Structure 1
Amino acid sequence: MKHKTKWLIFAPVGLLTVGTGACLINWAGELKSKGVAPTKWVSAGTAALVVFNAGLSMFGQSIIEKVLHEVREKPTE
């Protein structure tokens, strides 16, 4: 797969995953404020942070693929 294709896939998927993770973090915070058992909101918050960080990693990888595309594949002018 070419770097441009990877970049065009990773960027939007990463941004969507970051947004989903942020929403899940908010949801876990609401669970805590409602007085739900700590095991539930702690596990929900941990899973939310995993999703959020996965999104950041995917978006970071898209930046790497964009740079590699510009350096290796893009024709020079």
Structure 2
Amino acid sequence: MAYVVFLAGVVVVLAGLTWFASWAKRRGRSSGVAGALAAYEEAYRTTAHQSHHELRRQSERTSESASPDDL
């Protein structure tokens, strides 16, 4: 019985965290968390920090659309 209660507690916590993550993403509040993780990665994992900045640069780039004459 104790295992069932423990498992139910874990499921409730994970469901709550999932809901919070989706709520924060919809409201645009995830940038603070991303900034905190970037600061941590800059201090302790420099390669991950460099990758983070490269991914941000890639998402900000716009791709050039092809001309209709290129067909």
Normalising by the smaller structure, the TM-score range is: 0.3 to 0.5
- Normalising by structure 1, what TM-score? 0.37
Q: Which structure has the greater CA radius of gyration?
A: 2
- Highest RCO, 1 vs 2 (Cα 8 Å, sep ≥ 6): 1
* TM-score normalized with structure 2 length: 0.39
